[in-house]
Amino acid sequence: MTTTFLYGAHIQANGIRQHYLRYGGKLGARAERDAIIIIPGITSPAITWGFVGERLGQYFDTYILDVRGRGLSSANAELDYSLETQATDVIEFAKALGLRNYAIVGHSMGGRIGIRAARTQATGLTSLVMIDPPVSGPGRRAYPSQLAWYVDSMRYAREGCSVEQMRTFCPSWSQEQLQLRAEWLHTCDERAVIESFNGFHSDDIHQDLPHIKIPSLLIVAGRGNVLMPQDIEEICSLMPQVKVAHVQNAGHMIPWDDESGFYAAFGDFLGTRF
């Protein structure tokens, strides 16, 4: 298959170095469609979403962002890793690249970042896709994953772990997926991950939802335990314009579990089926 990958690059935005991977470009029909910014989850550097970028790049000018503290973006002890700052990063990233119109496609933590960014009604942000976002927060049930799972796996990666060691954390993943995670997980800064995990329980994204006016899509893992039926009902009550799609055969890491089902869940929400 001909690759849609164009290049990886860095840009200065919101006061930090932001690294991204670009797929597709603006030639042909892509020039008439909104660009896409993919925001991965809590311990997913941009490169781990490359297979999704390859597919979306066939139809859209696609950017996969290394969230601060992950991959090749800035990471240090002085950085602010709050949800508010991460959301501003995305908005300033789009401005720095000169994106006139763009959609945010955020998975898990990336979905929460997208929600906070969309609340600002930023110029150029035309639509939002939330992929199985954690709905934990003040006074709500805890996020189902444990912090130790992230911290322990990152420690193994920093020391240099094998694919088999990584398999103990992600037993259902393919050999290729495990190899990529074992190679890149060490780039996730532990401070950033801990702050983001704690933010799952201290940040109230539900207060943001009524302020989101752009078209929105919620993609739910059919075999996941992050979003329960009552959570979906509440989200729909807070943002009546939201569409909901289920990927029945997938857990929380939806495109890893059912890639074709993941793409099908978008329907024509982004302007074309892919």
Nearest to 167 by CA among 181, 183, 185: 181
User: How many separate domains does the chain show?
Assistant: 1
pLDDT digit string (tens) for 125-176? 999 999 999 999 999 999 999 999 999 999 999 999 999 999 999 998 999 9
Q: What angle do CA 141, 145, 205 make, to 5 degrees?
A: 50
**Residue owning tokens 């990927």:** 247
**CA–CA gap between residue 174 and residue 259 (Å, rounded):** 13
pLDDT at residue 85 is higher than 70: yes
pLDDT of 1 > 90? The answer is no
Residues of the domain holding 21: 5-144+204-266
Q: Is residue 184 part of a domain?
A: no
In a domain, 193, yes or no: no
Sole residue written with tokens 């090749």: 72
55-78 per-residue burial string, b: 16 or more CB within 10 A, e: under 16: bbbbbbbbbbbbbbbbbbbbbeee
Burial of 136 (0-12, 13-18, 19+ CB in 10 A): buried
Tell me: pLDDT of 216 over 80.
Answer: yes
H/E element, 127: strand 125-131
**Is residue 181, in this structure, part of any structural domain at all?**
no
Q: Is the dihedral of CA 201, 206, 212, 214 positive or negative?
A: positive
* The residue to which tokens 């890893």 are assigned: 256
**pLDDT confidence of residue 36:** 98
| Domain presence at residue 123 | yes
Residue 197 in any domain: the answer is no
pLDDT tens readout for residues 170-211: 998 999 999 999 999 999 999 999 999 999 999 999 999 999
Give the CATH number of the domain where residue 251 resides.
3.40.50.1820
Residue 175 in any domain: the answer is no
177 within 8 A of 114, measured Cβ to Cβ? no
Q: Could you tell me if residue 163 is inside a domain?
A: no
Closest among 106, 103, 2 to 58, alpha carbons compared: 2
194 part of a folded domain: no
- Where does the pLDDT of residue 8 fall: very low under 50, low under 70, confident under 90, or very high at 90 and above? very high
